[in-house]
Amino acid sequence: MLIYDDLGKRIATSTSGLKLKIEKTDIEIDSRGFADFVVKTFKFKDHPVSDITALSDAIAKLDFVEECSSTGGYLNIKVKAEKLYSIIDDAISGVGMYPETFQDPERVVVEHTSANPTGPIHVGRIRNSIIGDSVARIFARYGYRVSTHYFVNDSGKQVMALYEGFVRYCKGCELTVENLLHGYQEIYRHMEELGGETAVIGPLLKRYELPDVKLLEEIKGACSVVLKNIKETLGQLHVNIEDYIWESGFLQSEELVEVFERLGTHIKEEKKAKFLEMPWGKKEYLVRSDGTKLYLVRDLAYHLFKTEHFDVIVDVLGEDHRDYAKTLGYVLPDLMELDKRFEFLIYSFISLEGSKLSTRQGNIITVEELIKKGLEEASRIVSEKGNDYDEKTREKIAKEVAVASIRFNVVRVNPQKAIVFRWGEALNTEGDSAPFIMYSYARSSSILEKGEPSEKRKSSYGKEEKALLWNMYLFPDFIEKSMNSKRPDLIASYALALTKTFNDFYSSCQVNVAEDDIRGTRRRIVEMYRTIIKDAAGMLGINMLERM
């Protein structure tokens, strides 16, 4: 959990002795520029005006309240800038961050990406990784003990097609991603002439479940090659997944046995096939008529495994898995009686304008390609700026800018909303973008680097200083909201809004040329901003640069 001086809560508490008591939820953060906090008093119709006045007076008396005025059914509360300053200053002086994180004993696992290792990761898939990685970072920032998982599918028809395609169309070739992908696309192109999926993959499935250890190893080997490529790509985007859990590991596992035990009498049978019946009428199959097991079983075993180590299990899934998530959300707690928190973060797809993304059909834009173009674009911009940075510095700037831009342009959109991939937007570096944030950070670094420090502090604050302090004060609120709703885009909007208020401050408040007390205060405000914006960007996997 987060620890900070919650002024809204203090206002609510202070009204406990009044006729009109308000809750923290009655105190809203103003978004229209009337005040800092706002209370909608028109909601309290059954209270006489005198109660509202008493409420207003009580709030106005609080030591951190600058002003509390009642107008047109609203209570507009303005907080003292010096209070905001000291709240943030104290936290950063004490623990180096605002707000402070109190380690929660609950263990959280975020499973994300989990793309079939049948080819390089493409732009349609990357949203999963970016959202998943950001959510994991936000949970960790909030105070949970977080781990990340990638569930590697090396047991299904797709990977068998990958293996078989390589054997048939690339016999004797070197085991590379390109050759594997070629074989994979070829086998799907010729599937009809070969007699269909059952004829081609069926025999492999049987051998797989025996299990034929040699086959298992060979398939896993093929998957490893592709997975290595995926890992490298993810790493470039600062997505580092802690554990890769192999699906084949559950084939003969204790967990798999326990899944069947726990499901017990819930399992129905029809023509030797085993299935579960959902309350909404759907049948979910566990075992085929020929005795081979379906993905659901292995995934249930994997989830059982997760409950042995974690308290909160978060799955990041594409919208095509919405119904599947509903199934898991029912089977795990209700049929298997697992008493843990299962949460599903469903996101909509990134589509290509006019065409559909498909690894099988070869219609993809790979993330490698996206990063490459992003790097070229960023390098071009860095050169154009005409700074006197050396080659190494330029490369570093271009790399971080490219990665940050790509991540930001994906993460800033509400996961629920679909994204159409457009090059111009994917690599956007102006306006509402990562470089806009990074640039203001670089400027703040420059301010601190150039001027003289001062221990003196001033006692009054200007409009822009106050606005910046207020927005910084609100940081914990946004961390909480984005954690609770599993929406990293809220952190992205926050970072943009905070940067805008910093830019206002920057353009109207001179720091280094000011008198000692003003300079001392302003430099400290700049330090606070740097700490907070870097923290926020960090939750989105964006690394700040001291200069750019």
Partner RNA sequence: GGGUCUGUGGCCUAGUUUGGAUAAGGCACCGUCCUUCUAAGUCGGUGAUCGGGGGUUCAAAUCCCCCCAGGCCCGCCA
Residues 193-252 that bind RNA (CB under 7 A): 197, 247
- Identify residues 365-394 at the interface with RNA (CB under 7 A): 378, 381-382, 385, 387
* Residue 260 contacts RNA per CB under 7 A: no
| Beta carbon of residue 94, minimum distance to RNA (angstroms, whole number) | 27
Count of beta carbons in the 10 Å neighbourhood of residue 511: 20
Q: How far apart are CA 112 and CA 66, in angstroms?
A: 46
Piece of 103-111, 179-187, 319-327, 533-541 that binds RNA (CB under 7 A): 319-327
Three-class SS of residue 248? helix
- Identify residues 425-484 at the interface with RNA (CB under 7 A): 425, 429-433, 435-436, 439, 442-443, 445-447, 450-451
* Edge-first strand listing for the sheet containing 37-40: 27-29, 37-40, 74-79, 65-71
Q: How far apart are CA 51 and CA 57, in angstroms?
A: 10
Piece of 132-140, 330-338, 497-505, 530-538 that binds RNA (CB under 7 A): 497-505
Reported in sequence order, the residue ranges of 144-298 that DSSP labels E, i.e. its strands, are: 145-152, 243-246, 268-270, 273-277, 283-287
Element (H, E) at 476: helix 475-485
Piece of 5-13, 178-186, 260-268, 410-418 that binds RNA (CB under 7 A): 410-418
Element (H, E) at 17: none
Closer residue to RNA, CB minimum distance, 8 or 156 = 156
* Residue 537 contacts RNA per CB under 7 A: no
| Beta carbon of residue 155, minimum distance to RNA (angstroms, whole number) | 6
How big is the site for RNA, counted in residues (CB under 7 A)?
93
- Identify residues 23-82 at the interface with RNA (CB under 7 A): 25, 30, 32-35, 38, 40, 42-43, 71-74, 76
Residue with tokens 């190893």: 217
Piece of 50-58, 166-174, 224-232, 486-494 that binds RNA (CB under 7 A): 486-494
Three-class SS of residue 361? coil
Of 234, 538, 543, nearest to 400 (Cα)? 543
281: its two tokens: 């009428």
Contacts for 68 with CB less than 8 Å, ≥ 6 apart: 56, 57, 59, 60, 75, 76, 77, 78
Piece of 84-92, 136-144, 150-158, 306-314 that binds RNA (CB under 7 A): 150-158
Burial class of 205 by CB neighbour count within 10 A (0 to 12, 13 to 18, 19+): middle
| Beta carbon of residue 85, minimum distance to RNA (angstroms, whole number) | 18
Closer residue to RNA, CB minimum distance, 91 or 125 = 125
| Beta carbon of residue 60, minimum distance to RNA (angstroms, whole number) | 16
- Identify residues 169-198 at the interface with RNA (CB under 7 A): 197
| Beta carbon of residue 342, minimum distance to RNA (angstroms, whole number) | 16
Piece of 4-12, 90-98, 360-368, 406-414 that binds RNA (CB under 7 A): 406-414
